[in-house]
């Protein structure tokens, strides 16, 4: 199966789900669904109540495009300075669960705790067997770009994790932009614009939840189950060979 065929099948899978903005009838139905979600205390506060209906509709549309559940998107989509941003762990899990690539791994270079210390995200294209190497992200690069010094950033306290997350974000935008939908991760928005103010935005800025190492595995398992449920396990071919 060629990459074009895989992309076409993914698009067909997305077409089977309802797009809120594809017709007037779908929009009305989506609004009723959104109201049910906004009444739940399990969704983040930006989506709760009458004021959260618009945000919920957008989250539902994003979920439709990447093949995830609306609740998973709402729990992993942070709003910082009015900008929607994925949690890095969710983006990694989405790539891993897509089945198009082997799991993301990281190749470190340089001496730890120096400006030359860095890593690049790598993964194997399952169809071609090609090694997909992402951009090399180093501490020196983080300092030159102003990420390291930005207020609210975790570069100074958790440099290894930030190297992994930033390299994964660059990798996804290079090799699988349809999964990130061109959106930045929460830590990237913080590094570019500073932390948000209050509530969940502040939580996203601190990255406390996103930097939980177990979060990737939990989200990854959930997304993988969704892909299998929607495709009967046949869409993306055989399971990857263990490293």
Strand partners, 118: 109, 138
Q: Which position has the higher pLDDT, 4 or 56?
A: 56
Q: What is the mean pLDDT of the chain?
A: 77
Q: Give the model's confidence band at 233: pLDDT under 50 very low, under 70 low, under 90 confident, else very high.
A: very low
Q: Give the model's confidence band at 133: pLDDT under 50 very low, under 70 low, under 90 confident, else very high.
A: very high
Average pLDDT over residues 169-185: 90
Q: Which position has the higher pLDDT, 182 or 243?
A: 182
Closest CA to 118 of 98, 138, 104: 138
Out of 143-152, 187-196, 207-216, the most confident range is: 143-152
Tell me the C-alpha distance between 179 and 95, whole Å.
Answer: 7
Q: Give the model's confidence band at 11: pLDDT under 50 very low, under 70 low, under 90 confident, else very high.
A: very low
* Spatial contact of 227 and 235, defined as CB atoms under 8 Å apart: yes
Closest CA to 98 of 230, 198, 204: 230
Q: 21-41, pLDDT tens digit by residue?
A: 777 888 888 899 999 999 999
Q: For strand 118-124 and strand 77-80, is the pairing parallel, antiparallel, or unpaired?
A: unpaired
Give every CB contact of residue 177 below 8 A, 6+ residues apart in sequence.
none
Percentage of the chain exceeding pLDDT 90: 37
Average pLDDT over residues 135-151: 93
pTM of the model: 0.66
Residue 228 has pLDDT above 90, yes or no: no
For the chain, the distance separating the N- and C-terminal CA atoms, rounded to the nearest angstrom, is 23
Question: What is the model's pLDDT at position 204?
Answer: 38
Average pLDDT over residues 178-186: 86
- Report CA-CA distances (Å) from 198 to 45, 80, 182, 206: 11, 10, 25, 11
Tell me the C-alpha distance between 140 and 116, whole Å.
Answer: 6
Question: What is the model's pLDDT at position 211?
Answer: 42
Q: 101-120, pLDDT tens digit by residue?
A: 999 999 999 999 999 999 99
Average pLDDT over residues 181-210: 63
- What SS3 string covers 175-216? HCHHHHCCCCEHHHHHHHHCCCCCHHHHHHHHCCCCCCHHHH
């Amino acid at each position: 199966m060629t990459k074009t065929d895989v992309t076409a099948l993914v698009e067909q899978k997305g077409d089977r789900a309802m797009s809120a903005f594809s017709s007037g009838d779908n929009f009305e139905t989506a609004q009723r669904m959104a109201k049910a979600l906004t009444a739940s205390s399990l969704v983040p506060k930006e989506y709760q109540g009458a004021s959260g209906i618009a945000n919920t509709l957008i989250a539902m549309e994003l979920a439709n495009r990447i093949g995830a559940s609306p609740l998973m998107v709402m729990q992993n989509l942070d709003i910082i300075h009015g900008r929607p941003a994925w949690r890095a762990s969710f983006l990694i899990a989405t790539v891993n669960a897509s089945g198009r690539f082997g799991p993301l791994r990281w190749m470190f270079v340089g001496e730890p705790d120096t400006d030359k210390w860095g890593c690049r995200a790598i993964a194997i294209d399952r169809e071609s067997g090609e090694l997909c190497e992402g951009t090399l992200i180093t501490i020196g690069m983080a300092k030159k770009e102003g990420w390291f010094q930005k207020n609210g950033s975790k570069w100074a306290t958790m440099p290894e994790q930030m190297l992994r997350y930033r390299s994964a974000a660059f990798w996804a935008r290079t090799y699988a932009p349809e999964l990130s939908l061109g959106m930045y991760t929460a830590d990237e928005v913080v590094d570019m614009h500073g932390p948000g103010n209050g509530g969940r935005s502040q939580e996203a800025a601190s990255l406390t939840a996103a930097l939980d190492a177990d979060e990737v595995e939990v989200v990854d398992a959930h997304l993988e189950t969704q892909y299998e449920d929607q495709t009967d396990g046949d869409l993306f071919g055989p399971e990857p060979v263990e490293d």
